[in-house]
Chains A and B, each alone.
Chain A
């Protein structure tokens, strides 16, 4: 018998349960999160026909509608058309919705309605790994959607000159990274939602401002200072800036700020999502 048996019920200094690191408030997730990612992937591939149409068509319709319609009234200076200005943003802004919906509605259903989290909890997978698996899957959705939009842009490039550089392929890892940040924050919000309809608050207070300040539709430099600062706080802004550079091939040192922001935001965003959703899961 171990020493613990002599002091059942002892309060005070007990080691935290479930491998939790005290100063982090969570256990460090292990590779078990991959099994959760695989589960989400399997579900996606069973339903994929319904899941790929919207993320492929919506950005292109928006691009052509705004670019060719509104674009006729927009003077950019130089010989660039507005539709060309819009294209790089489409690689990030619409795919972002994929990650966000997955981390808000998808995770809410798995957490609250379908008992998916509860079922996984009875296995050696820890709550931290359930959440990380879900975040990783939501980010994968964003990267996948970026691939779909990229294909469409490549098809249209001979006519509309969207893509000028093979570096555009690196928008896919940028999208994945941005997706991890956005999913981490989104799932943290999901963890405090009491009903599905509350998820729309997040849409209003976070997603919509991020959408308009992303720099995809107009440059933010000429906006009031506060708006420019706010834009810089959103991961999407940095992803769009990088996408613009990778699509045109115009690289410069200033881009390191955007890369730096995304990498610096990665662990805090993952931690926030995991910490918050873990609390909800273990409360049961």
Chain B
């Protein structure tokens, strides 16, 4: 089966700025795929090329086996996009927003009505159908934008930072809806700068920075490969950190190392015995944290700096 997305040496340039600097990846049908990286990493530019909103500067990009440059209309009808900003039509009701959108895809009135009812039910917005957009909360707006992106029954759903700016409860509801969509077989491409989001949702992901792909794989595999099982975080005063680092460094094995980001030091490739030792050295044991490694650690290892900017 041909992959739903094939990107080879894909680049996007804005004047002198190279936003996407030659990335290669493939997304299989039915997969939940993530692009993880800080703001400005090239995530949004990548998905704008996939959804034919922006031109490919060079390289190859096929969506559903079609070249995005020459088959823009066909590609766009295969894809549903949830943009970063809620660009809903403020002057229309919830239902009208979906009706107007269905018309852009040339969907007939009857078919549109059925899909709209289904979409509103799926996103738990039935009661809001005749309300104006301003009457919706942030989380409801997000769910409406997702319902809107589903109106053309896309083979590929693209979400650009779908939970940025939402409160924790609204976030969890959006996640639940996305998992539901995955179970129903929708292929999903998600960008995020939240590692917990990527870790929870994505089957596979690319970590991006400065327009390049740093690493690709399953979240657990990436963590195991780059950050090991556990991490020690030191939130200590500088001179104390220096003392601990001096003591700890010779004890670390080949895979072990210490990264300093701002005022926090992270030690990788350690085990519980190291933690016990550092805890005893520290003036305040609560400022020494021993935890499971996550994707942020992977990013930190790959770039030497923090992910959320």
Residues of chain A having any CB pair with chain B under 8 Å: 2, 4-5, 8-11, 14-15, 17-19, 32, 35-36, 38-39, 42-43, 46-47, 114-116, 118-126, 282, 284
Q: Which of B77-85, B166-174, B300-308 contacts A (4 or more CB under 8 A)?
A: B77-85
User: Are B53 and A122 touching (Cβ within 8 A)?
Assistant: yes
Residues of chain B having any CB pair with chain A under 8 Å: 8-9, 11, 22, 48, 51-56, 58-60, 62, 67-70, 72-74, 76-77, 79, 81, 83, 85, 87-92, 96, 100-101, 103-106, 149, 152
User: Are A4 and B72 touching (Cβ within 8 A)?
Assistant: no
- Complex: how many Å from CA A9 to CA B76? 22
User: Are A17 and B8 touching (Cβ within 8 A)?
Assistant: no
User: Are B87 and A119 touching (Cβ within 8 A)?
Assistant: yes
Closest Cβ–Cβ distance, residue B191 to chain A (whole Å): 15
User: Are B89 and A118 touching (Cβ within 8 A)?
Assistant: no
Picked from B48, B56, B96, the residue with its CB within 8 Å of the CB of A284 is: B48
User: Are B51 and A18 touching (Cβ within 8 A)?
Assistant: no
Residues on B with C-beta less than 8 A from A115 are: 83, 85, 87
7 contacts between A and B (CB under 8 A): A18-B69, A35-B100, A43-B92, A115-B83, A119-B88, A123-B101, A124-B104
Closest Cβ–Cβ distance, residue A282 to chain B (whole Å): 7
With A15-B69, A32-B106, A39-B100 known, 5 other A-B pairs at CB within 8 A are: A8-B60, A35-B100, A116-B89, A123-B104, A123-B105
User: Are A4 and B100 touching (Cβ within 8 A)?
Assistant: no
User: Are B48 and A17 touching (Cβ within 8 A)?
Assistant: no
- Complex: how many Å from CA A8 to CA B86? 34
Closest Cβ–Cβ distance, residue A28 to chain B (whole Å): 13
Residues on B with C-beta less than 8 A from A116 are: 87, 89
User: Are A126 and B72 touching (Cβ within 8 A)?
Assistant: yes
Closest Cβ–Cβ distance, residue A209 to chain B (whole Å): 33
Picked from A35, A36, A42, A118, the residue with its CB within 8 Å of the CB of B87 is: A118
- Complex: how many Å from CA A39 to CA B88? 12
- Complex: how many Å from CA A187 to CA B299? 45
Residues on B with C-beta less than 8 A from A123 are: 76-77, 101, 104-105, 152
Closest Cβ–Cβ distance, residue B130 to chain A (whole Å): 12
User: Are B89 and A39 touching (Cβ within 8 A)?
Assistant: yes
User: Are B83 and A42 touching (Cβ within 8 A)?
Assistant: no
User: Are A17 and B70 touching (Cβ within 8 A)?
Assistant: yes
User: Are A14 and B69 touching (Cβ within 8 A)?
Assistant: yes
Closest Cβ–Cβ distance, residue B74 to chain A (whole Å): 8
User: Are A119 and B83 touching (Cβ within 8 A)?
Assistant: yes
Known contacts A9-B9, A35-B103, A122-B76, A42 near B67 by CB under 8 Å: no
User: Are B73 and A126 touching (Cβ within 8 A)?
Assistant: yes
- Complex: how many Å from CA A116 to CA B96? 14
Residues on B with C-beta less than 8 A from A121 are: 53
Picked from B55, B68, B87, B106, the residue with its CB within 8 Å of the CB of A124 is: B106
Residues on A with C-beta less than 8 A from B22 are: 9
- Complex: how many Å from CA A8 to CA B8? 7
Known contacts A17-B55, A120-B104, A122-B51, A42 near B96 by CB under 8 Å: yes
Closest Cβ–Cβ distance, residue A125 to chain B (whole Å): 5
User: Are A114 and B90 touching (Cβ within 8 A)?
Assistant: yes
Report the nearest A residue to B76, measured CB to CB: A124
User: Are A35 and B104 touching (Cβ within 8 A)?
Assistant: yes
Report the nearest B residue to A30, measured CB to CB: B73
Residues on B with C-beta less than 8 A from A19 are: 72-73
User: Are B83 and A38 touching (Cβ within 8 A)?
Assistant: no
User: Are B60 and A5 touching (Cβ within 8 A)?
Assistant: yes
Query: Which of B62, B70, B100: most chain A CB closer than 10 A?
Result: B100
Residues on A with C-beta less than 8 A from B73 are: 19, 124, 126
Report the nearest A residue to B6, measured CB to CB: A5
Report the nearest A residue to B53, measured CB to CB: A121
User: Are A17 and B87 touching (Cβ within 8 A)?
Assistant: no
User: Are A4 and B60 touching (Cβ within 8 A)?
Assistant: yes
Known contacts A4-B60, A124-B73, A43 near B91 by CB under 8 Å: yes
- Complex: how many Å from CA A35 to CA B112? 14
Report the nearest B residue to A123, measured CB to CB: B104
Residues on B with C-beta less than 8 A from A38 are: 100, 103
Residues on A with C-beta less than 8 A from B77 are: 123-124
Query: Which of A46, A120, A123, A124: most chain B CB closer than 10 A?
Result: A123
